[in-house]
Structure 1
Amino acid sequence: MDVLDAVTASVVFRLSVALGVGALIGLERERSGSAGFFAGSRTFPLVALLGGLLNGFFPELLPVGFAALAVIVGVAYAGKVAFEDDIGSTTAVAALLVFVYGAMATGSENGTVLAVVLGIFTTSVLAAKPWMHSFAEGIDDRELTDILKFLLVAPAVFLLVPNRELDALYGLNPRFVWLMVVLVSGISLGAYLLRKYLGAERGIALSGVLGGMASSTATSVSLSGRARREESLMGLYAFAISLASMAMFPRVLIEVAVVSPSILIDVAVPVGAMTVVGTVLAFVVLRGRDKEAIQIQASNPFRIRTAVVFGVIFAVVLVVSREGARAFGESGVYATAFVSGLADADAIAISLSRLAESGEIPVGTATLGVVIGVVSNTLVKFGIAAVVGGRELGKKVGFVLVTTSAVGIAVAVVV
C-alpha cells in the first residue's frame, strides 16, 4: 500500500509540474496579448496535461496526440492569418512545445527537471520580445558579421585542434588553450553588447564582474585590449578589471568551504579583507574617470588578435607553472603556491585546502599558501593590464591590485 501511495504521489507530482509549466507559458501569452484564437491561460495548461497523461498512461498514443494537436494548431493559425492578417507563429510553436514539456514531465525524473528548466527558458524568451526586437533592430551589418565570425571560427578551430597533450608544445593541450581563446573572444563580444544596450558605465562594469566569475584572467586580457583602443574610457576599464579580480575571491572562498570547512574562517579573514579593500579602491578609480567618455562609440567587438595573445600568454604561464612546481617539489608550499597561482588560483586553493583537511600541512601554512596563490594571480592581472593595456591602465589597475595584494599578505601573516 505504501508503494502504491508513493507511485501515485509521484504521478500526481509530475502531472502538477506539467500543469505548472503550461500555466506559466499560458499566463505569459495571455499577459502579452498574444494568445490568439485558441491558446491562452486555460488552453496551455490543458495542452501540457494532455501530453503528460498520454506519455504517462498511453505512451503508444503520444504520436497520435501530437499529430492531432498539430492539426488543431494549424487550423487556428490559418484562421489567425485569414481574419487578423497576422502571420506571427510564436504562440502556435509555443503550444506544440508545451505538449512536449508535459510529456517530458511524466517521462522520467530528469525529464521532469528538464521540463521545468525549458519551460522557464521558453517563458523568458517569450517575455523578452520587446528587448529582442530592439536588439535585432540595433545591430548593423558590421556587427552581425562580427558575431557570425565569432560563431563560425570558435567551434571550427575547436574541432580541428587535437584534444591531447603534445610533446612539441611542452605537454600543452591545444584544445584546452583554444577554449581559453574562445572565452576571451566571448567576453569581448559580451562586454561590447552589454555596453551597447545597457550604456557604457553599466555594461563595462557588469562585464567585469560576470567575466571575473568565469575567468578573471581572460576578462583582464579582453578589457585591457579594449582599453588601449579606447583611451578615454581608461578609468572605466580599470574599474572593470579591478572588479573582475575581486570576483575571483568569493569563488576561492566557496572552494575552500567545500573542500575544507575547518580552515574557511582562517582563509576568509585575509581574502575577505582583500575583497573589501579592492572593491573600495576600484570605486576610487572609477570616481576619477572622465564622465564625458561614456558618449564615445564602441569599436569592433571581435578581436582575434587579442584573444590569440591571451592564448600564448596562458600557454607560457601554464608551462612555467608546471615546471616550477616540479622543481620546488611538494615541500615548497609557498613557492609552489606562487608559481601555480600565476596560471590558476583555484587549483592551488583546492590543493592546499585538501592537504590541511587531511592534516598533511598546518592550517596556518595552508592559509598563507592560499593567500600567496591568490595574490600571485592578482598580480598577473596587474601585469596583463600594464602590458596589454598600456602604462596608464597599468598605473590605475596597479593602484588597486598591488595595494589589495599587500593587504592580503599582511593580514595573513598577522593572523
Structure 2
Amino acid sequence: MLDTLNVGHGAVALGIGMLVGLERERKKRRDEEPAAAGLRTFAITALLGYVSMLLAGAVLVGTTSLGLVLLLCLQYRHSPRKAPDVTGEIALLLVLVLGALSVAEPELAAAAGVVSTVLLALRRELHHFVLQQLSEQELRDGLTLLTVALVVLPLTPDRFLGPYNVLNPRTLCTLVVLLMAVAALGHIAMRLMGPRYGLPLSAIASGFASGSATIALLANEARRQSAAVRPIAAAAVLSNLATITQFALVLSIIDRHLLAPFLPAVSLGVLVTASYGVLLLAPWRGISSSSAVHPGDGAFNLWTALIITLALTGIALLSAFLLEHLGHNGASIAAFISGLGDAHAATASAASLVVAGRLQMAELVVPGMMALTGNTLTKCVLAFSNGGYDFARYLVPAQLIILGTMWLGMLA
C-alpha cells in the first residue's frame, strides 16, 4: 500500500542513485575511459533495488543482483575495452543494494551512498596520496596501529590484577593504542597543515585524551629534533588548554553548580596558557629551516608508547601504595596522589563526594586544585626525563605559571 513513508524511502533510494550516478556521469565527460553506466542507469538501478525489496524482500533483491551481474558480464564480452571499469560496476551493485536497504534503513543507506560518492570523486587524490605521499614506514605503522586496536585490544582481559588491584590489562592496552593514535594524529596534522600550526592543533586535540601522555610524546620528539625544541614546547604548553577545558567539563557534567567556584581559575588558566603558548610559537616571525619541525619517516614509535605506558602505570602503583599506607585522612591528599596519574579522574572522584553529600561544595576547591597540582608535577617530571633540559626550560616555567595563576584565581 502506497503511503507517505514508502514515498519518502523511495525518494532516498532515488537520491542515492542520482548522487552516485552524477559522479559517474562527470567521469564519462573527463578524459578517461568511457563508462557504460551513467546518471540514468544508477538512478534506475537504485529504484530497482528499492522496488524489489518492497515487493518480495531479500530473495528478489538477490535474484536482481545476479541478473545485473550477468548483464555486466555480457557488456564486458562485447566491449572493445581491454580493462573493464571494475570500480564503476561494483558501485552499480552497491547502489542496487543501497536502494533495497532504503526500505528499512534509509538513514544508513543515505550515509553509505554519500561516503561511496566521496570515495569515487576522490579517486585521483587517493591514488596520489597512496603512491606519492604515503611512505612504506607510515604504511607499516598504520597496519601496526590497526592490529593492536582491532585484534590485540579486544582480546585483552578486562579485569583488575596485580598489587593493590589497580592494574587493568585492557586499560593499559587502551593507553598504548591511545598513545600511538595521538602520535599518528600529530604526524598527520603536520603533513596536512605544516609544522607550525599542525603540531599545536594536534597537541590540543590529543590533550583531551591524556595531557601527561601528550607532554611525554612531545618531549621525546624534542629530544629527537633538538633544533626545533621551541615550537615543540609551544605545542606542549598549548596542550594544557585541553586539560583545563576537560577539568571544567568534568565538574559541569557531574553538577553544573560545582563549576562556579572554579570559573575565575579556569578563565585565568586558559588566558595564560594561550598567551604563553602563542608567545613561544611566535607566529608573526618567520620560521627558519634549522628550527622547523620535520615529520619523521614513521607515524609513531611503538617503543615510546610502551615506555610511557609503563611510566604512567608506575605512577598509578605509587598512588595506590601511598593511599594504602596514608589512608583517606584528607580528600586533598588523595586528590593530589590521584592527580599524579590523571587530574580528571581525581577531580571526578572529589566532585562525586560532594554530590553524595560527603563533602561540602566549599571543600571541593582545595582537592580540585590539588589534583591539578599533582598532574602538573607529573608533566614537569616527564618534561625533564623525556625531553631533557632544553625542553624542560620552556615547559616547566609555563606549567608553574599556569598552575600559580589558577591558584591565585581561586584565592582572589
TM-score for the superposition, normalised by structure 2: 0.83
CA distance in structure 1 between the partners assigned to 2:271 and 2:23 by the alignment: 41
Q: Report what 1:179 is aligned to.
A: 174
Supply the AA of the counterpart residue of 1:134. Answer: H
CA distance in structure 1 between the partners assigned to 2:191 and 2:233 by the alignment: 19
Q: Report what 2:161 is aligned to.
A: 166
Superposition deviation, residue 280 in structure 1: 1.5
Q: CA offsets per residue over residues 310-349 of structure 1, 9 Å max, x none?
A: 1111211222334445556566222222222222233233
CA distance in structure 1 between the partners assigned to 2:103 and 2:295 by the alignment: 51
Superposition deviation, residue 372 in structure 1: 3.3
Contact 1:256–1:263 under 8 Å retained in 2: yes
Matched, 1:258 2:256: no
C-alpha change, 1:75 and 1:351, in structure 2 (3 Å) is: farther
Superposition deviation, residue 283 in structure 1: 0.9
Contact 1:27–1:41 under 8 Å retained in 2: yes
Supply the AA of the counterpart residue of 1:122. Answer: S
Q: Report what 2:383 is aligned to.
A: 385
Supply the AA of the counterpart residue of 2:196. Answer: E
Contact 1:184–1:221 under 8 Å retained in 2: no
C-alpha change, 1:22 and 1:179, in structure 2 (3 Å) is: same
C-alpha change, 1:387 and 1:121, in structure 2 (3 Å) is: farther
Corresponding residue SS for 1:214? coil
C-alpha change, 1:256 and 1:78, in structure 2 (3 Å) is: farther
CA distance in structure 2 between the partners assigned to 1:17 and 1:327 by the alignment: 64
1:24-173 to 2 correspondences below 5 Å: 24-31=19-26, 37-59=35-57, 60-74=59-73, 82-83=79-80, 87-107=84-104, 111-136=105-130, 137-152=132-147, 157-158=152-153, 161-167=156-162, 171-173=166-168
Contact 2:187–2:295 under 8 Å retained in 1: no
Corresponding residue SS for 2:266? helix
Supply the AA of the counterpart residue of 1:89. Answer: V
Contact 1:228–1:388 under 8 Å retained in 2: yes
Supply the AA of the counterpart residue of 2:387. Answer: G
Q: Report what 2:272 is aligned to.
A: 277
Contact 2:148–2:177 under 8 Å retained in 1: no
C-alpha change, 1:90 and 1:315, in structure 2 (3 Å) is: same
Supply the AA of the counterpart residue of 2:309. Answer: G
Which one of the candidate residues 291, 294, 304 is aligned to 2:292?
A: 294
Supply the AA of the counterpart residue of 2:375. Answer: N
Superposition deviation, residue 309 in structure 1: 0.8
CA distance in structure 1 between the partners assigned to 2:370 and 2:353 by the alignment: 16
Q: Report what 1:248 is aligned to.
A: 243
Matched, 1:207 2:202: yes
CA distance in structure 2 between the partners assigned to 1:73 and 1:105 by the alignment: 24
Supply the AA of the counterpart residue of 2:389. Answer: R
C-alpha change, 1:253 and 1:67, in structure 2 (3 Å) is: farther
CA distance in structure 2 between the partners assigned to 1:398 and 1:337 by the alignment: 21
C-alpha change, 1:138 and 1:365, in structure 2 (3 Å) is: same
Matched, 1:219 2:214: yes
Q: Report what 2:336 is aligned to.
A: 338
CA distance in structure 2 between the partners assigned to 1:230 and 1:177 by the alignment: 28
Supply the AA of the counterpart residue of 2:288. Answer: K
| Equivalent pairs, count | 404
CA distance in structure 2 between the partners assigned to 1:251 and 1:34 by the alignment: 51
Matched, 1:198 2:193: yes
C-alpha change, 1:277 and 1:297, in structure 2 (3 Å) is: closer
Task: List structure 1 runs of 4+ shifted beyond 6 angstroms.
Answer: none
C-alpha change, 1:412 and 1:328, in structure 2 (3 Å) is: farther
Aligned-residue sequence identity (percent) comes to 26
CA distance in structure 1 between the partners assigned to 2:20 and 2:238 by the alignment: 37
- Where do 5+ consecutive residues of structure 1 fail to align? none
Contact 1:166–1:173 under 8 Å retained in 2: yes
| Mean Cα deviation higher: 277-286 or 9-18 | 9-18
Superposition deviation, residue 232 in structure 1: 1.4
Q: CA offsets per residue over residues 79-103 of structure 1, 9 Å max, x none?
A: 7xx4566644333222322333333
CA distance in structure 1 between the partners assigned to 2:226 and 2:257 by the alignment: 46
C-alpha change, 1:184 and 1:14, in structure 2 (3 Å) is: same
Superposition deviation, residue 368 in structure 1: 4.3
C-alpha change, 1:356 and 1:103, in structure 2 (3 Å) is: farther
1:319-358 to 2 correspondences below 5 Å: 319-326=317-324, 332-358=330-356
Structure number, greater radius of gyration: 2
CA distance in structure 2 between the partners assigned to 1:399 and 1:166 by the alignment: 38
Contact 1:252–1:349 under 8 Å retained in 2: yes
- Where do 5+ consecutive residues of structure 2 fail to align? none
Corresponding residue SS for 1:118? helix
